[in-house]
Amino acid sequence: MSNLSELLPAGAGAKSASFVASGTLGSGVTVALKADGTVEAVSATSPTLDSSTIFEFASTEAISATFDSNSNKVVIAYCDIGNSSYGTVIVGNISGTSISFGSAVVFNSSETSNISTTFDSNSNKIVISYRNHGNSSYGTAIVGTVSGTSISLGTPAVFESAISLLMATTFDSNANKVVIAYRNAGNSNRGTAIVGTVSGTSISFGAAAVFAAVSVQSISIAFDSNTNNIVIAYRNLNNAYYGTVIVGTVSGTGLNFPTSSTVFNSANTAPSATVFDSAQNKIVIAYTDNGNSGYGTAIVGTVSGTSISFGSSVTFVNNIATYISGTFDTNANKVFLSYRNDTQGKGSCVAGLVSGTSISFSPESVFDTGNITLPSTTFDSNSNKAVIAYRDTAFTYYGTSVVIDIPTTNSNNTSFIGITDQAIADTATGAVIVQGGVSDKVSSLTTGSDYYVQADGTLSTTVSSAPAGRALSSTSILLEG
């Protein structure tokens, strides 16, 4: 068609309506209609910080957080360096946008490291696994019962009579078992896993199973409730530090693993978080990709039997990301990641939405402007808030927690109503070109192409859930809505 202006309905040249601006708007800005009738700029939505609370006024290490869905409490276990590096645990309660804590309780009266926690929803107990330096660095676990903001503890049980490191713990809700993956220094640093059964306030273990007959690091674990399998990601020190994953199945008090594993990143990798997305029935592995400048990266996996296949990797931050931790928000149906942005020296987070075998992320949010370490992330399904517990290096290494609100949408672009025809000051009224009108406040369009409003408010030919219209020239677009 030689003259696309013929597409215009009669009198549609600059069809506009007046709206009150929510926030200052420039000319030519895509805007969304809010529930109160005002308009705001189309933009991607990011996690927001609700509040920050110190849970330990002393230097902390080996922090691990989990959520007790029976008592609706957040539980944080950690090494209290201010108290002889004893293993310590504390219970937090979210009310509104803040979290408050009960009294800290020592669960191991000796130096403690490599702490990992999980919640056993069958017995309604917290299980803490750790390296007990007071007992030859043996792998040990203990059961906790939450009541209010207090926790009582059972008798510790050794699950590995050798130096055990890098514990990662999950709960298999099909078998009603706790699974602990770890590095067994008593067996050439091989990747090992073991099944625990909670009874009352004690835990007993079956026979350990080797999941990687190589030296491993950076272990993370998740339970896939769709296929009822355990997924363990790790760094294979015997294969150029490649990111590797294996799928196993709990059988009684044992574990069965296939003879082969799967490489998900053929480069030096630190797979710090493995998360199961129960909305899409996918596994998401987030890692530091040292083959790509150390950028924070994620990849979506689909489990079938005891095998796993992957989509393409996605960078969630174009900066060095370390200490990555993750959880799944069952309210927003998003994967939530916290990490240290090493490039900027800040504690940061993103939310990711899985679609098929890919994942898209929100813009990065900063939860602490200091160079934090050791974040551990959990989701409180009672308050629909995420909690990040971490070591605040800018504040004497105190144990600190933040409450995070994760948006249920990635963008307000689905409420797109038009393009501003002029700059509009906050709370002022101005003209917006709406459906059936032509905006000439745009640029760099391809004549005749259909455009869509992207999550960040830009116009692109990439299909999204928010159609904009058809370009009449490089600087004008007929808004079709």
Cβ proximity of 156 and 132 under 8 Å: yes
How far is it, in rounded angstroms, from Cα 152 to Cα 195?
23
Residue 422 and residue 396 in one domain = no
Report the alpha-carbon distance of residue 426 to residue 424 in Å, rounded: 7
Q: Which of 387, 405, 423 is the last residue of a domain?
A: 405
Q: What is the CATH number of the domain that holds 40?
A: 2.40.300
Each residue's pLDDT tens digit, 202-215: 999 999 999 999 99
pLDDT in the model for residue 360: 87
Kind and range of the H or E element at 57? strand 48-68
Separation between Cα atoms, residue 458 and residue 194, nearest integer Å = 50
Structure confidence at residue 456 (pLDDT): 84
Q: What is the pLDDT of residue 5?
A: 40
Q: Which domain holds residue 423?
A: 4-44+412-479
Low-confidence spans in the chain with pLDDT less than 70:
1-14, 481
Strand order, beta sheet including 39-41? 16-20, 429-433, 416-420, 30-33, 39-41
Pair (21, 56) in one structural domain: no
Residues in CB range of 410: below 8 A, 6 or more apart? 44, 45, 351, 353, 360, 362, 455
Alpha-carbon gap, residue 360 to 339, rounded angstroms = 17
Give the Cα separation of 356 and 339 in Å (integer).
25
324 and 377 share a domain?
A: yes
Count: domains in the chain? 2
Among the candidates 405, 430, 464, a domain finishes at 405
The upper half-sphere exposure of residue 476, i.e. CA atoms within 13 Å in the direction of its Cβ, equals 14
Q: Could you please report the per-residue DSSP string of 188-250?
A: TTEEEEEEEEEETTEEEE---EEEEEEEEEEEEEEEETTTTEEEEEEEETTTTTEEEEEEEEE
Indicate whether 54 and 39 sit together in one domain: no
Query: Domain of 162: which CATH number?
Result: 2.130.10.10
Q: Assess whether 359 and 441 both reside in one domain.
A: no
Backbone angles phi, psi at 373, to 5 degrees: -140, 165
Residue 14: per-residue pLDDT: 60
Together in a domain, 368 and 457: no
Q: Are residues 69 and 191 in the same domain?
A: yes
Task: Out of 405, 433, 468, pick the residue that ends a domain.
Answer: 405
Note the pLDDT of residue 4: 39
Query: Which pLDDT score is estimated for 111?
Result: 98
Residues 421, 315 share a domain? no
Residues 134 and 187 in one domain: yes
Burial class (CB in 10 A: 0-12, 13-18, 19+), 420: buried
What local confidence, expressed as pLDDT, does residue 10 receive?
38
pLDDT of the residue at 91: 98
Looking at residue 481, its pLDDT comes to 65
In this prediction, residue 271 carries a pLDDT of 78
10 and 128 together in one domain: no
Per the CB < 8 A criterion, the answer to whether 255 and 210 are in contact is: no
Alpha-carbon distance 250 to 256, whole Å? 6
Are residue 83 and residue 210 in the same domain, yes or no? yes
Find out whether 395 and 370 touch, Cβ atoms under 8 Å. yes
Q: Do 153 and 179 reside in the same domain of the chain?
A: yes
